[in-house]
Chains A and B, each alone.
Chain A
Amino acid sequence: MAAPTTPAEIGGIGHSVQRKEDARLIEGQGNFLDDIDLPSTLHMAILRSPLAHARINGIDSSAATALDGVLAVVTGDLMDQHGLAWMPTLSGDTQAVLATDKVRYQGQEVAAVIATDPYIATDALEHIEVDYEELPPITTPQQSLEEGAALIRDEKEGQTDNLAYTWETGDQGATEEAFAQADRVVTLETHYPRSHPAPLETCGIVADVNSVTGQATIYMTSQAPHAHRTLFAMVAGLPEQNIRIVSPDIGGGFGNKVPIYPGYVVATAASLLIGQPVKWVESRTENLISTGFARDYYMKGELAVTDEGRILGLRVNMLSDQGAFYSDAQPTQFRAGLFHVVTGSYDFGAAHIDCKGAFTNKAPGGVAYRCSFRITEASYLIERLVQNAAYEVGIDPAEMRLRNFIQPEQFPYETATGFVYDSGDYPTALRTALDEVGYEDLRREQAEARAEGRLIGIGIAHFTEAVGAGPSRTYDIAGLKMIDSAELRVHPTGKAILKLGVKTQGQGHETTFAQIVAEVLGIPANDIKVEHGDTDHTPYGLGTYASRSTPVGGAATAVVARKLADKSKKIAAHLLEAADEDIELASGVFSVAGSPDRSVTIQDVALAAYTNLPEGMEYGLEDVTYYDPPNLTYPYGSYIVVVEVDPDTGVWQVQRMVALDDCGVRINPMIVEGQICGGLTEGFAMSAMQWITFDDDGNCIGANFMDYLVPTAWETPRFELLATEVPSPHHPIGAKGVGESATVGSPAAFVNAVIDALAHLGVRNIDMPVLPDRVWAAIDEAS
Chain B
Amino acid sequence: MEITVTINGSDHASDVEPRTLLVDHIRRTVGLTGTHVGCDTTSCGACTVLMDGKPVKACTVLAAQADGSEVTTVEGLKTADGLHPVQQAFTDDHGLQCGFCTPGMMLVGASLIAENADPSDDEVRWAISGNLCRCTGYINIVKAIRTAAARVAESSNGS
Chain B CB within 8 A of A251 CB: yes
A200 near B133 (CB under 8 angstroms)? yes
The smallest C-beta distance from A182 to any residue of chain B, in angstroms, reads 40
Chain A CB within 8 A of B116 CB: no
Chain B neighbourhood of A30, CB < 8 A: 34, 99-100
Chain B neighbourhood of A506, CB < 8 A: 96-99, 135
From B40, B46, B92, give the contact of A18 (CB < 8 A). B92
Q: How many residues of A contact B (CB 8 A)?
A: 55
B38 near A712 (CB under 8 angstroms)? no
- Segment touching B, from A21-29, A124-132, A326-334: A21-29
CA distance A679 to B133 in the complex (A): 12
In the complex, the number of residue pairs spanning A and B with C-beta atoms less than 8 Å apart equals 173
A200 near B44 (CB under 8 angstroms)? yes
- CB contact list, A643-699 vs B, under 8 A: 670-671, 673-675, 677-682
Interface residues as binary, B50-78 with A (CB distance below 8 Å gives 1, 0 otherwise): 00000000000000000000000111011
B102 near A26 (CB under 8 angstroms)? yes
The smallest C-beta distance from A717 to any residue of chain B, in angstroms, reads 9
- On whether A712 and B131 interact (CB within 8 A), knowing A22-B90, A32-B33, A35-B33, the answer reads yes
Q: What is the chain A residue whose CB lies nearest that of B126?
A: A714
- Segment touching B, from A68-76, A601-609, A703-711: A703-711
B101 near A200 (CB under 8 angstroms)? yes
- CB contact list, B1-49 vs A, under 8 A: 17, 19-20, 27-28, 31-41, 43-44, 46
Interface residues as binary, A704-747 with B (CB distance below 8 Å gives 1, 0 otherwise): 11100010111010110000000000000000000000000000
Chain B neighbourhood of A23, CB < 8 A: 91
B98 near A706 (CB under 8 angstroms)? no
Chain A neighbourhood of B103, CB < 8 A: 28
CA distance A677 to B138 in the complex (A): 8
CA distance A285 to B37 in the complex (A): 13
B40 near A704 (CB under 8 angstroms)? yes
The smallest C-beta distance from B45 to any residue of chain A, in angstroms, reads 9
Q: How many residues of B contact A (CB 8 A)?
A: 57
B98 near A28 (CB under 8 angstroms)? no
From A119, A199, A712, give the contact of B98 (CB < 8 A). A199
The smallest C-beta distance from B60 to any residue of chain A, in angstroms, reads 13
CA distance A32 to B77 in the complex (A): 20
Q: What is the chain A residue whose CB lies nearest that of B102?
A: A25
From B17, B19, B31, B136, give the contact of A678 (CB < 8 A). B136
Chain B CB within 8 A of A505 CB: yes
The smallest C-beta distance from A631 to any residue of chain B, in angstroms, reads 28
CA distance A508 to B31 in the complex (A): 27
Q: What is the chain B residue whose CB lies nearest that of A684?
A: B137
B134 near A199 (CB under 8 angstroms)? yes
Chain B CB within 8 A of A284 CB: yes
B99 near A25 (CB under 8 angstroms)? yes
- CB contact list, A231-279 vs B, under 8 A: 249-252, 254
The smallest C-beta distance from B141 to any residue of chain A, in angstroms, reads 7
Q: What is the chain B residue whose CB lies nearest that of A287?
A: B39
Chain A CB within 8 A of B151 CB: no
Interface residues as binary, B97-129 with A (CB distance below 8 Å gives 1, 0 otherwise): 111111100100000000000000000111011
A and B contact pairs by CB, cutoff 8 A, 22 listed: A19-B94, A22-B99, A23-B91, A26-B102, A28-B32, A29-B75, A30-B34, A30-B100, A32-B100, A35-B27, A198-B134, A200-B38, A200-B135, A251-B36, A251-B99, A284-B38, A506-B97, A506-B135, A671-B94, A704-B39, A704-B40, A705-B39
Interface, chain A (partner B; CB < 8 A): 18-19, 21-23, 25-30, 32, 34-35, 37, 119, 198-202, 249-252, 254, 281, 283-285, 505-508, 670-671, 673-675, 677-682, 704-706, 710, 712-714, 716, 718-719
The 6 A-B pairs of least Cβ separation, nearest first, read: A28-B34, A506-B98, A251-B100, A25-B99, A677-B137, A705-B43
Query: What would 4 more interface pairs be, CB under 8 Å, given A284-B39, A681-B136, A713-B133?
Result: A21-B99, A37-B31, A119-B19, A712-B132
